[in-house]
Amino acid sequence: MNFKENPELEVLNHSCAHLLAQAVKHLYPQAKFWVGPVVEEGFYYDIDLGDEVIRDEDIPKIEKEMKKCAKDNKRIIRHEISRAEALQQFQDDPYKVDLINRMPEDTNISMYSQGDFTDLCRGPHVESTKLLKNFKLLKHSGAYWKGDKNNKVLQRIYGVCFPTDTELEAYLQVLEEAKERDHRKLGKDLKMFLFSETVGSGLPMWLPNGFTVRRLLSDYIMEKEIALGYEHVLTPSVASTKLYEVSGHLAHYQEDMFPIMERDGDSYVLRPMNCPEHMIIYKASLHSYRDLPVRIAEIAHDFRFEASGALTGIERSRSFTQNDSHIFLRPDQIAEEIKNVTKLILDVYNDFGFKDYSFRLSLRDLNNTDKYFGNDDLWTRSENELREVLKEMKVPYYEAEGEAAFYGPKIDVQVKSALGHDVTLSTIQLDYQLPERFELEYVNKDNQKVRPVVIHRAILGSLDRFVAFLLEETKGVLPLWLAPLQVEVIPVNSEAHGDYASKINRALKREGIRSHLDDRNEKLGYRIREAQMNKVPIQIVVGNRDIENETVTVRTYGSKEEVTHSFKDYLNQLVEQIAQKSRN
């Protein structure tokens, strides 16, 4: 749900932001207010409380005061004053003064009053505070004033408001469901990764369970790429600044890179992406037009200094691994190669059962062309080539200005995270610029040296972000082939059935199945429940009859049904199911 796209909810939530500010002013008379806009997920207000800090236990107190203000049923009245009068009225609030000073001198400024509270606002608002009673404050956080990390941190309180209590409760249930899907919670519960302030913000450490998933995903995508003619390489995660001067990253991307390191008179930097290194690899050999396309791929470790406020678990971090590739090709091969990459993306999404995604054609911002390099003709040509391929393939897409890379337009595949973030999962970028900057060549049919074109593409994108989305899509119930632990073997009684259970476990492991023997001296029900909580796809329970008949009793995740199989037959079935990478 996007509150900004619904006129009724937009007015209601903007009015409720003022109700929040009124209540905060009652409780914290020293409060000063920046802005309180409607956003996709409801509303927020940025507040300066001086030395006081909002804590979780303060939110119910603020909600109670908001309820009281709503119950007072004050009319919400719009009025206008001059800019000079507004500066006089808000002279003690530097945030409002800053807003007013950015308005034209001869303008009248609209304000809204409700009882003892008045605020600057364009409006519109609802007629009375009684219409704002169905609200909920959701969370609070710090936010830099004007989004500038050099400014003071204000306190941001988020909330939602609906016309009826029924609609509010339904929405809160959706949020609760999303919370259960949050990859940060699932990653912690399933012991997949962790963060430590001692290690550093935004630097994930992958635990054995998480690393297993990453390894399997790497093998999965590399096998697909090898079958399609990709050749894999390994390049360093640090390089000379000279490389990034040539590529243009130092001029166009340095704010998002880690600081430059000086050693022995040379300058180095952690790489934010892998295209410059791949350009050097291509350039190291002579190429004929017959050799193209050349597809260089890498599972590469990259670093970007994301703003602390943007860090979101492994969805957006400062250290991540990309399933990256650069395809060097002739201009006449562009359409076919982009089709092939698009087909690979769709093939992968089908394997994982992804359905809720959209294609975005990311174009440059024509009002701010300074942040891109290259000439207008090449940009227009590149954008049209991507557009035509999408049309020819009949792939539904939308266009977004300002989302292009600094060196070329992109096709991005967008998904919604459980937190409501619009996230890029896969990308295809068409680039005429870097081949020019690196002076790449191939020999054409006429024995002349000419420039190739480059397609930058990432199918899984960042492995970290892919895992985050996969956890959220499956609620942590990964498909059998990808689960860190595939089978939990549980003897009914450790003493009586332990030897047979151990034999089953060893046989599973010999076939490469990731199994574990839980022969602890705990009740059977407890061990089964724990396996379910850990989202282990299969639990094999063995007792007297299984020993007598050489069978296993199988229970799958999320089911209470138990089915008995010949162990030999079931083992063959399991091996085949894993090999086929079937979805559960």
410: annotated active-site residue: yes
- Among the listed residues 136, 360, 410, 465, the single catalytic one is 410
Of 253, 295, 312, 275, the C-alpha closest to 464 is 312
79: annotated active-site residue: no
Amino acid identity, position 436: E
CB of 204 closer than 8 Å to CB of 319: yes
Q: What is the dihedral of CA 158, 414, 418, 420, to 10 degrees?
A: 10
- Among the listed residues 324, 412, 431, 464, the single catalytic one is 324
Is residue 174 left, alpha or beta, with left meaning phi > 0 and alpha meaning psi from -120 to 50? alpha
- Among the listed residues 114, 155, 322, 486, the single catalytic one is 322
Can you tell me the distance from the alpha carbon of 373 to that of 405, in angstroms, rounded to the nearest whole number? Answer: 10
Q: Which two tokens stand for residue 295?
A: 């597809």
Is residue 358 left, alpha or beta, with left meaning phi > 0 and alpha meaning psi from -120 to 50? beta
Q: Are strands 294-303 and 319-329 parallel, antiparallel or unpaired?
A: antiparallel
- Among the listed residues 456, 465, 497, 535, the single catalytic one is 456
- DSSP3 helix / strand / coil % (the chain, rounded to 5): 40, 25, 30
- Among the listed residues 275, 364, 457, 464, the single catalytic one is 275
Helix (H) or strand (E) holding 321: strand 319-329
287: annotated active-site residue: no
CB of 284 closer than 8 Å to CB of 424: no
Cα 491 to chain center, whole Å? Answer: 41
Can you tell me the distance from the alpha carbon of 330 to that of 336, in angstroms, rounded to the nearest whole number? Answer: 11
275: annotated active-site residue: yes
- Known binder of ligand: residue 183? no
Q: Which two tokens stand for residue 227?
A: 């079958």
304: annotated active-site residue: yes
Helix (H) or strand (E) holding 470: helix 463-474
Helix (H, G, I), strand (E, B) or coil at 376: helix
- Known binder of ligand: residue 140? no
Q: Which two tokens stand for residue 12?
A: 């209601």
Residue 566: φ, ψ to 5°: -65, 130
Can you tell me the distance from the alpha carbon of 299 to that of 321, in angstroms, rounded to the nearest whole number? Answer: 7
416: annotated active-site residue: no
- Among the listed residues 326, 465, 497, 535, the single catalytic one is 326
102: annotated active-site residue: no
- Known binder of ligand: residue 456? yes
- Among the listed residues 14, 74, 295, 304, the single catalytic one is 304
Residue 561: φ, ψ to 5°: -70, 135
Binding residues: 275, 326, 456
Binding residues for Zn(2+): 275, 326, 456
Active site residues: 275, 304, 322, 324, 326, 410, 456
